Chains A and B, each alone.
Chain A
Amino acid sequence: MRGNGRALGAAAVAGGLCLLWAATTGAFLLRNNTVTLPWILGAVLPCYCAGLFAWWHAPTHPVARRLLLIGTALSASIGIRYTSALLTTWYGWDLRAPENGLPSPTAALAVLPAEWDNLTVSILVVHLLALLPDGRPRFRGELLVLRSLWALLALPVALPAAGVPTHGVEYAVFYYPEAWLPGIGATLLVMRCLRGRAAGRRDLAALLPVATGAAALFLGRAASRLFRSWHGETGVLYLVGSLLGALPYVLISLSVVYAAFRYRLLGVDIVIRRSVVYGTLWLIISGWYLGMAMTLGLTAGQYFPIGLSVLIAVTATALFQPLRARLNQLAERRVFGRRLTSFELLVQFGSALEHAYDLSRLAPQLAAGLQVGLGLRWARVRLGAGDDLPVHTGTAGEEPDGCAAAAGGARGFPLRYGNDVLGLIEYGPKTEGRFTPEDHDVVETLARQAALAVHNVRLAAELSTRVDEVQRQAGELDASRARIVHAQDTERRRIERRLHDGIQQDLVALVAKLRLARNRLGRGGDIDAVLTEVQDDAYRVIDELREVAHGIHSPVLSDQGLVAAVTSRARRMPIPVTVRVDPSLDRVRFALDIEESAFYLVSEALTNVLKHADATHVTIRMSRSDGWLVVEVRDDGVGFPTGTTRGLGLTGMRDRIEAVGGDLLITSGSGAGTTIRSRLAERVREESHD
């Protein structure tokens, strides 16, 4: 392989030298400008350059090697041709055979290298095309067909030997293979693609449209090239023929370079600057264009005086200029991707910002857009303001290390909204060219828009937090309302049970005892004991009834107010209770719901103390401060971990207090006692209840 590579290298060098030799001889010694420069520039040079480019980057890849060989062979071909022409001119060697006669053996031998060389070019073109994209046979028969093409090399020897006249040999060796073999190569590629598609090879199937197009183009070209065989080497038809003649070599060269870059045709990652690729493409396009323009000018020179023909050439060049520009633009876009104008960039960012409420997505989106849009080496966008908004960072491109960034001319733009800094845009130098003031403006505008977007996101986040809060409160309100209703129902059922199962039963028993007394009286017995019993029972029923009524509602509360009711409740506690009441509360009557809620709180708290606290002492404090009625119940009991406030009736308390616009604070801890402190918005009742 290495030897192979070295041979190829030597061949390439030889090709280069041939090219140089041909260009020099053609232009200066033979003064045969009609043929020389246009052909060299339009076909040979592009092919040779593309071949070098491909081989340089993938020395072992068959496609690269074939392309280089084609370029070399083309160069050799033209070198040989001019050498023989030079010899003919200088030494009078006439190697031309008579039109319909046989060449002399010497002449035939002298022409042979050129013939073989040209055939080799055409056969190599077929090989290159038919084995795309990897350059290796994949299906049965491919290699056989391609190898059999080499049999064409026998033609230059076999035909004269078989007595074919020189003219015919020329057609069979020079014109027909050159015209038809590219088309045949493309057709073979179409067949390869079809077989590949049938075999499920995706890469081949994808190539099918290109192959079909190429086959149509090259076959069409071959058909039209027939003109050239009818009309010699002059005139307009020659011009057309030259254009078409160069076509396959230019197209193949362009395609290989582009595909190598874009689709990794050569199987390696091309780690070169895009501008080199673009330069190569530019060279090919410009060479072809120059060659064609020259052909035009020179063709015109055959018909018109020199002045006019120059004019025509210039005009044509000017006319073709847009075409070239368009081709160059295409190549540029293909290589560098779509470059956006500043305006497009802003519009694109504008729409991205408009819909971006997710900073984690927006940051990389902005960074990538900025990097691609301005052609920067790297860009980093940091969105968010430390305290209330988490920072999201997006980076595009290969960001250098910190010190390299500092040295590499990294710049930064803070995102400002008012006095707030809401983020930072940082970026490195451009991959190509310098950073223009327009670029600067774009980044600045972008920074402003991004700041606005971050600000919006911040607002949206705040809003959503508040909406969540409101929804949570609404949910809590519903739940507490449901709990209050539930608690009321439960209480009603409890009272109903106490009335039916307690008091009513007691009264029935009382009736029974009265009946008993009557029976005894009827028998003339002593009923004093029974009646005493009945009276005692009646007292008990009254007590029970009083208790039930008190449970439903404390009459002291409505008749004498909160303080009287609380002290009354406190007096009935079996453990010591200290009641401390602010003198300003004396005989003050608050709104009914406030008094009831506060009393409920104290009642429940005291009930809790008895049930759970195991306390030895309770202190109740009531005071007023800044429009609030403050009620506090503190015990010295066992307390409870504040995490487990549910299920101790505390939810009910909180519901009751919050229902009248108050709040509740419960502090407790194991062994530390419990303090329940509530604030109720103070509303004094209108009429005093003396």
Chain B
Amino acid sequence: MTEAPMRVVIAEDHYLVREGTRRLLEDTGAVGVVAAVGDGTELLRAVDALRPEAVIADIRMPPTHHTEGIAAAHAIRAAHPRIGVVMLSQHADENYAFELFRRGTDGLAYLLKERIGELDELLRALREVASGRSVVDPRIVEVLMGSHTRAADAPLACLTRRELDVLRHMAEGKTNRAIAKALVLSESTIEKHVNSTFAKLGLAEETQLHRRVSAVLAYLRHAPASRTRGMP
């Protein structure tokens, strides 16, 4: 507990949830909530003024209660690339995650709202986004992996089953070592699968970190959907 608490802004229109989350986070001692606001506009103002390390934002906020949170996240990421955003959503629907990650996955996390109850998960996500990485709620990945939906023209069609498994774990934000552990394989085997996946997805030229994120993005985009869209 020698580290200084992470400076976080919370945006949530529901008062009880907002205060509950704040208390929960501050109670850990790892997070300092520098501001708790009720809508997207206030959030952007607070971020501009306070420059937190990370933001926790509700996806649905006034005035329209649709996807103000995502718009705010995009605005924050565009204005302050170093500030990570954890999106809390009541939608267990991958389409919202796609929407969030539409302009890139860096520094963004998509979590279901009830993950507040699983404090460790929330804290991990905050740390991940603060350091520019990305997290997707396991529930969303579960839906995508369980899906039987196919699209003949999807780029992932050429991946083997094993490569898809590895990619799924990558999407959950795991390191190669963690993946090897989960699949009971050697780390070098995982390394091989990761590289062949990158090659098949046309990501060989990218940097290591970016490649990883792009692979996840491709996975999220194409595994489920049939929409034909060029790679970003």
Q: A residues bordering B, Cβ < 8 Å?
A: 535, 538-539, 542-543, 546, 555-556, 558-560, 563-565, 567-568, 570-581, 583, 586, 689
Q: Give every chain B residue within 8 A of A559 (Cβ-Cβ).
A: 66-67, 96
14 A-B pairs with C-beta separation under 8 A: A538-B114, A542-B113, A542-B114, A546-B92, A556-B93, A563-B227, A567-B95, A568-B93, A568-B94, A571-B147, A578-B150, A578-B152, A581-B227, A586-B227
Q: Give every chain B residue within 8 A of A571 (Cβ-Cβ).
A: 94, 143-144, 147, 149, 224
A577–B147 CA distance with the chains assembled, in angstroms = 9
Instruction: Check if B147 sits within 8 Å of A572, measured CB to CB.
Output: yes
A570–B226 CA distance with the chains assembled, in angstroms = 11
Q: How far is the CB of B96 from chain A (nearest CB, A)?
A: 7
Find residues 56-76 in chain B having any chain A CB closer than 8 Å to their own CB.
Answer: 66-67
Q: Does B148 belong to the interface (CB within 8 Å)?
A: yes
A158–B14 CA distance with the chains assembled, in angstroms = 148
Instruction: Check if A567 sits within 8 Å of B143, measured CB to CB.
Output: no
Q: Does B225 belong to the interface (CB within 8 Å)?
A: yes
Minimum CB distance partner of A549 in chain B = B90
Q: A573-B148, A575-B148, A578-B149 given as contacts; is B99 within 8 A of A560 (CB)?
A: yes
A689–B228 CA distance with the chains assembled, in angstroms = 20
Q: Give every chain A residue within 8 A of B90 (Cβ-Cβ).
A: 546
Q: A538-B117, A586-B227 given as contacts; is B99 within 8 A of A574 (CB)?
A: no
Q: Does B25 belong to the interface (CB within 8 Å)?
A: no
Closest 7 CB pairs of A and B: A576-B148, A571-B147, A564-B95, A579-B226, A571-B149, A556-B95, A559-B66
A581–B227 CA distance with the chains assembled, in angstroms = 7
Interface residues of chain B: helix, strand, loop or mixed (majority): loop
Q: Does B201 belong to the interface (CB within 8 Å)?
A: no
Q: B residues bordering A, Cβ < 8 Å?
A: 66-67, 90-96, 99, 113-114, 117, 143-144, 147-152, 224-229
Q: How far is the CB of A549 from chain B (nearest CB, A)?
A: 8
A647–B149 CA distance with the chains assembled, in angstroms = 29
Instruction: Check if A576 sits within 8 Å of B149, measured CB to CB.
Output: yes
A689–B95 CA distance with the chains assembled, in angstroms = 14
Q: Which of B93, B148, B226 contacts A581 (CB 8 A)?
A: B226
Q: Which of B92, B95, B117, B150 contacts A535 (CB 8 A)?
A: B117
Q: Give every chain B residue within 8 A of A564 (Cβ-Cβ).
A: 95
Minimum CB distance partner of A541 in chain B = B114
Q: How far is the CB of B95 from chain A (nearest CB, A)?
A: 4
A567–B149 CA distance with the chains assembled, in angstroms = 8
Instruction: Check if B66 sits within 8 Å of A577, measured CB to CB.
Output: no
A542–B139 CA distance with the chains assembled, in angstroms = 13
A542–B117 CA distance with the chains assembled, in angstroms = 12
Instruction: Check if B151 sits within 8 Å of A578, measured CB to CB.
Output: yes
Q: How far is the CB of A510 from chain B (nearest CB, A)?
A: 13
Q: How far is the CB of A506 from chain B (nearest CB, A)?
A: 14
A546–B89 CA distance with the chains assembled, in angstroms = 11
Instruction: Check if A568 sits within 8 Å of B117, measured CB to CB.
Output: no
Q: Give every chain A residue within 8 A of B114 (Cβ-Cβ).
A: 538-539, 542
Q: Which of B91, B150, B227 contacts A556 (CB 8 A)?
A: B91
Q: A535-B117, A542-B114 given as contacts; is B224 within 8 A of A567 (CB)?
A: yes
A583–B143 CA distance with the chains assembled, in angstroms = 24
A565–B94 CA distance with the chains assembled, in angstroms = 10
Q: Give every chain B residue within 8 A of A574 (Cβ-Cβ).
A: 148
Q: Give every chain A residue within 8 A of B147 (Cβ-Cβ).
A: 570-572
